[in-house]
Amino acid sequence: MSTHPATVPQDDDARARRNVAVLVAAQAVLGAQMPMIFTVGGLAGQMLAPNPCFATLPISMIVLASMLSATPMSAVMSRFGRRTGFWIGTLGGAAGAAVAAYALFVGSFAIFLAGSLLTGIYMSAQGFYRFAAGDTASDAFRPKAISWVMAGGLLSAVIGPQLATATTGLLPVAFFGTYLAVIAVNVLGASLFLFLDIPQPKRPGNDAPQGRSRGELLRDPVIRVAIVCAMVSYALMNLVMTSTPLAVVGCGYHETDAGHIVTAHVLAMYAPSFFTGHLIARFGAPKIVGIGLFILAGAGAVALSGVDLAQFFVALVLLGIGWNFGFIGATTMLSSAHEPHERGRIQGVNDLVVFGGVTLASLSSGGLMNCSGTSVVAGWQAVNIAMLPFLVLAGGALIWLVMRPAAD
């Protein structure tokens, strides 16, 4: 046995590895509900909505609730621990699915939206899985811990859409079986957190450094550009992904095809995570963000080129890879531009802006898809053309940041 000073961190990492195993399983099992809901949510919304322009409003409500829940969820976890926060997430997921199932049974769009809001509580909690992975890990193990939890997203990308396609027509009421399956996923998955062993965080002392104010942080050019690029990357991914099932089915393909495309997309979102960090370390975060924005533009170009099934697949795979590079690169830029004691302050602002943009993208997606042209193809083109000004905004901000030192 080695007598290297790293023995103590290795002992700590034994607990971290157990926690990572729990979180990987949670990401795979509980995380499957999000691809399930994103696969059928827009289609169910289109069936229930009084106006087809509101078809993707249920997805928007999930993202909105996730944004609004993030700060209180963080506070709950800080005071009562990760396990309590994650259990609240599963409760929200199960309750949301139950309310949505009831809405489908009675044919109420308003009740379906209420269920979507509850589902957003789970989405918010899931966002903390990767942070929880690092809570008990040593500095050396932390990147691996986060990567392994992200790998759970690969499993959920396969499990979720397959469960959705298997349960969509299982019962006489369309999509009712899918939401019953989501309830089961939350009930079964909640038991995983019984094995989570993360101590409650200690409260900082009164003499802890306070750091910069939010206003001062936002005047940092790196922080501003990082927030813009993260928001654009995530919002554009959501804008296109939300409309994809509507476009695929509207072009005459089956719901099963939409499920397979969503699976390919989510796999493309998470699979690059195993090497994105290495690329950032080698080439720098701004270059990787720039590549991500370029790939997102490529996704839009492929989508505009036609509506063959292969074109949907390629566009959504590129969309996932572009999101991965853009969002993870921007997150790295943000984390390198502030001190540890400023983290909670600026990350809260970042989440507010990012998920505010995602909410607006979700709200816009249905209107662009169903109400901006005379056909499904015209609507799909409008969704993808809408990416352009935001790509120009983020790309221009990134170029300004890179060129700025030379200009000073």
pLDDT at 93 exceeding the cut of 70: yes
Backbone dihedral angles phi then psi of residue 134, each to the nearest 5 degrees = -90, -5
* 16 contacts: CB under 8 Å, gap ≥ 6: 133, 135, 136, 137, 138, 141, 145
How far is the C-alpha of 294 from the C-alpha of 380, rounded, in Å? 20
pLDDT at 210 exceeding the cut of 70: no
Arithmetic mean of pLDDT, 282-296: 93
Arithmetic mean of pLDDT, 6-19: 66
Arithmetic mean of pLDDT, 282-302: 94
pLDDT for 16: 85
Range of weakest confidence among 167-176, 185-194, 311-320: 167-176
Q: Which residue has the higher pLDDT, 154 or 177?
A: 177
Q: Which residue has the higher pLDDT, 147 or 129?
A: 129
Task: Pick the closest to residue 165 from 317, 252, 27, 38 (CA basis).
Answer: 38
In this structure, the dihedral spanned by the alpha carbons of residues 390, 392, 393 and 396, taken in order and rounded to 10 degrees, is 160
State both tokens at 215: 């206003």
pLDDT at 278 exceeding the cut of 90: no
Does the domain made of 10-199 have the CATH classification 1.20.1250.20?
yes
State both tokens at 255: 């719901």
Does the domain made of 214-408 have the CATH classification 3.30.530.20?
no
Contact 299, 319 (CB under 8 A): yes
Q: Where are the domains of the chain?
A: 10-199, 214-408
pLDDT at 141 exceeding the cut of 80: no
What single-letter DSSP state applies at residue 50? Answer: S
State both tokens at 394: 């983020």
The pTM score is 0.76
Contact 56, 240 (CB under 8 A): no
**Confidence grade of residue 87 (pLDDT, cut at 50, 70, 90):** very high
Contact 252, 353 (CB under 8 A): no
Helix-helix angle 221-250:255-270, to 10 degrees: 160
Where do we find the tokens 């106006």? 51
Sign of the alpha-carbon dihedral angle for 235, 236, 241, 246: positive
Sign of the alpha-carbon dihedral angle for 54, 184, 105, 251: positive
Q: Which residue has the higher pLDDT, 136 or 400?
A: 400
Contact 145, 15 (CB under 8 A): no
pLDDT at 167 exceeding the cut of 50: yes
pLDDT for 111: 96
Arithmetic mean of pLDDT, 334-360: 73
CATH topology identical between 10-199 and 214-408 = yes
pLDDT for 245: 87
Arithmetic mean of pLDDT, 133-151: 72
How far is the C-alpha of 93 from the C-alpha of 34, rounded, in Å? 10
pLDDT at 148 exceeding the cut of 70: yes
How far is the C-alpha of 326 from the C-alpha of 306, rounded, in Å? 25
Task: Pick the closest to residue 387 from 315, 284, 306 (CA basis).
Answer: 315
How would DSSP label each residue in 175-208?
A: THHHHHHHHHHHHHHHGGGGG---PPPPPPPTTS
pLDDT for 3: 35
pLDDT at 123 exceeding the cut of 80: yes
Range of weakest confidence among 36-45, 112-121, 195-204, 310-319: 195-204
pLDDT at 2 exceeding the cut of 50: no
Measured at the CA of 184, the angle between CA 91 and CA 88, to 5 degrees, comes to 10
pLDDT for 134: 72
Measured at the CA of 251, the angle between CA 249 and CA 257, to 5 degrees, comes to 45
pLDDT for 367: 79
pLDDT for 140: 66
Where do we find the tokens 């709950």? 76
Decide: residue 142, CB within 10 A, 0-12 exposed, 13-18 middle, 19+ buried: middle
pLDDT for 224: 93
